[in-house]
Structure formats: structure tokens, C-alpha cells
Amino acid sequence: MNYTNSKALYEKAQHVIPGGVNSPVRAFNSVGGTPIFISKAKGSYLYDEDGNKYIDYISSWGPMLLGHAEPDVIKAVQDIAAHSTSFGAPTKLEIDIAELITEAVPGVDKIRMVNSGTEACMSAIRVARGYTGRNKVIKFKGCYHGHGDSFLIEAGSGALTMGQPSSPGVTPGTAQDTLIARFNDLEDVTRLVQVNKDEVAAIILEPVAGNMGCIPPADGFLEGLRSLCDEQGIVLILDEVMTGFRVAFGGAQALYSVTADLVTYGKIIGAGLPVGAYGGKKEIMEYVAPTGPVYQAGTLSGNPLAMAAGYTLLKKLRDNPQIYAELEAKSAKLAQGMEQVLNEHNIPSYNTRVGSMVGIFYTDQTVHSFDEANTTDQKLFAKIFHGMLERGVYLPPSPFEALFLSNSLTDEDLDYTINAFSEVIASLK
């Protein structure tokens, strides 16, 4: 493929944008090479500035569950845009989407719209702290909750020590209030809670980890956390920014029958416009201003374009439950096809899937938490990534991201992808 225009744009972009990109993973740092500049997309296809076409397995990192430029979503945005792009005053649309979400998710009585998943997670822990009067938060190594200071923390030297900032600019003061546990290890969490008795405000996690590949929760893990939080008066926050309305209409909570105290959303609920939200139990959400003392606000929160897009997409998902069955079948076909190719060529891999989130770890180990995910062969991943890109298949440019399928993928797209994968794997010999 010819990437002349993308290369020129990347060169230009680096003069005026840090690293040439507005979010680091787009820079292809973990796979090498030049990021592709996209000019348009439709359904399951991305088109770049050189006119190359790709089958898309990122779906804008989640939102495009029904594919790009979905006609009803586009029409809703166009219609509302003609009436202005923001009012800074309440609208009926905000009630519509709030009602839809609260009806879809049993544990969510009230919901507040924000502008990104990052903002949703930052706000949720603030509310949990305000509500409990406690300071500490437990998160899991490898789970991503956006770039709020409290989440950019690594495990300290021992499991029971305080966390350490993983980015300059995060203060040790912030780090000391974030405790890091091992994903899928209930004992580890229980120990942290015991050592920090009556100090832990919240436990936050991705119910299906989607930012260290795709790692499903072990049997009993979510239920165990639920009981622990109940016993200890801790707010359980499920970060469903990725899983919400993707793994099932009611998200991972519906799939695993676990109810959180607070839930965060993003991605799909905005259908590709900048949206996040946090919601949950009435008594906790009433702690939020203006009813309660915990301050949180946003000039563009509940933006009409974003609400119209999100509402249109969510309504389609609600009214067409077969979409989830179709996505399940497509995802199973892809995952099984790719797994078979790897097996035929004796390439060790650990394969995971929850609905339309698919993970392939190039490792001979089982993967239940970050340290195991980290054994994946990153050089091999980079080769496969570029081999697929060359053949017109756009996989996430990082070994720590899951594939996110959209329902606009056709059987032909999937067959083509599996064939391309087979060619790439065969060419590695």
C-alpha cells in the first residue's frame, strides 16, 4: 500500500501537535511505522488520505457498534445541528437519554452526563469519596479509567504499599490514595481492604478488562467484590465505558448479574461524539450538586448533538435486540477463525472473547491479569499488525487493546480478515 499522504501529514502534524496525535495510542508507538490519517469511514470500512480502504476492528475504540456514519445517527445530528450546537440550558433530549439508560440498567436510578470517559471516572470517585467520607480508592493493575491523576498510578514495591505515580505531574499525595490490586485476585483485594480498614471509599474496575487485551472476570470475582463492598461500606464502581451497551444492552452488569453502586459510561452512549456519564443509586447520586455537596459541572455537558447521536444509537439497540445475537455470531466466527490459523501454525496464543470484544495474546501462558497479559510477544504482534494493515485490515495498534467489532461487518469482511490473517501468519516462517 501507498502511504505517501499519511506520511506527509504525520510530518506536518508533529510540528503543531505533540507527537502528531491527540491521543497517544494513535501514534503507532507500540507497533512502529507511520500512523494512517483517516479521511472518512462508512459501515465497517475506514478510508485513508491515500485512498486506501481498511476493514475496521477498532470502531473508534468502541463507539461505532453499528458501524460508521450510521444513517439514523447522522440524520439526528444534522437535524439538531440546524437548531444550534449548544444552549447551556437544559433540554428535553437529556431527559430522553437519561430515561433510556436508567430503564436499561437496574442499578442506575440517576445519571449525570459529562464529556468523556475520563471525566466520568474522575467524577465517580469524587462522589464516592464525598459519600463515604473516606479517601482511598482501589484500582486494578492494567485496568484503564482515563487519564485522571488518581488513575495514573502503578503498584508500589509490595502489594500492600501505597501506589507510585506512573506519570510525571501526578503528585505523591495523589498516589498515596490509590491502592493497586491484581485483577481477578479477590484475596489480594480483601487483604488491601483489611490493611486499610475504614479508609477505602471505592473499588473501581472494568468488569471485563478491555485495556490489557480482553480479560473476562473469573468466576465469582465480581460477586466477591460486591459482597466485600457491602460488608465494608465501600462504593463499588463498575467502569462500563467500554462494556456498556457493547457486551449486552445492559452492559456487563446484565451479563454477569452484578449491580454496582456507581457505573461509568462513555464511547457507545455518545455514538462517536464526545460523551461520558456516571450514574447509580439514588442516595449516592443525590450527593452530586446541585442536590448535594459534591461539585461537578460542565459547560458542554449534555450537548445536544451528542445527546441526539447517543439517544438515536441506544434506541436502535434497545428496539433491535437481535443486533447482539448477530454481533455474537460474527465475533465468534472471527475469533474461532483466527484461533484456528494460530493452532495450525503452532503459534502459542491465549484467546479470549466476551461478545464483540476479542483478545488474542501471543503467549504460552493463560492470561487472567496484567502481568500475564504482559508476557505477550510484542514483536510478533507488531509484525502481524503491519501484515494485516498492508492487506487492508485495521487492527488496534497495540497488543494491549481488544478488537472491537461492529455489526456492519459482513461475512465477506470476516472471511477476508481470516484469510489475510492466515497469509500473514504463514509469511512469518
Ligand X SMILES: *Cc1c(COP(=O)(O)O)cnc(C)c1O
Least distance CB 372 / ligand X (angstroms): 19
Among the listed residues 178, 211, 363, 376, the single contact to ligand X using CB under 6 A: 211
Q: Which residues pair with 53 in a beta bridge?
A: 47
- Give the interface segment with ligand X, choosing from 115-123, 153-161, 164-172, 320-328 (CB under 6 A): 115-123
242 belongs to the binding site for ligand X (CB under 6 A): yes
Among the listed residues 117, 130, 213, 387, the single contact to ligand X using CB under 6 A: 117
107 belongs to the binding site for ligand X (CB under 6 A): no
Catalytic choice (48, 56, 239, 413): 239
**Does 177 qualify as catalytic in the annotation?**
no
Among the listed residues 35, 276, 304, 396, the single contact to ligand X using CB under 6 A: 276
Contact positions with ligand X (CB under 6 A) in 279-338? none
Peptide bond into 168 cis (omega under 30): no
| Sheet with strand 357-361: strands edge to edge | 350-354, 357-361, 403-404
Among the listed residues 97, 100, 121, 277, the single contact to ligand X using CB under 6 A: 121
Smallest Cα–Cα separation from 65: which of 318, 416, 277, 419? Answer: 318
266 belongs to the binding site for ligand X (CB under 6 A): yes
**Does 144 qualify as catalytic in the annotation?**
yes
Least distance CB 85 / ligand X (angstroms): 20
Among the listed residues 56, 177, 206, 261, the single contact to ligand X using CB under 6 A: 206
CB neighbours of residue 8 within 10 Å:
14
Least distance CB 59 / ligand X (angstroms): 12
145 belongs to the binding site for ligand X (CB under 6 A): yes
| Chain residues that interact with ligand X, rule: CB under 6 A | 116-118, 121, 144-146, 206, 210-211, 239, 241-242, 266, 276
Catalytic residue numbers, as ranges: 144, 239, 267
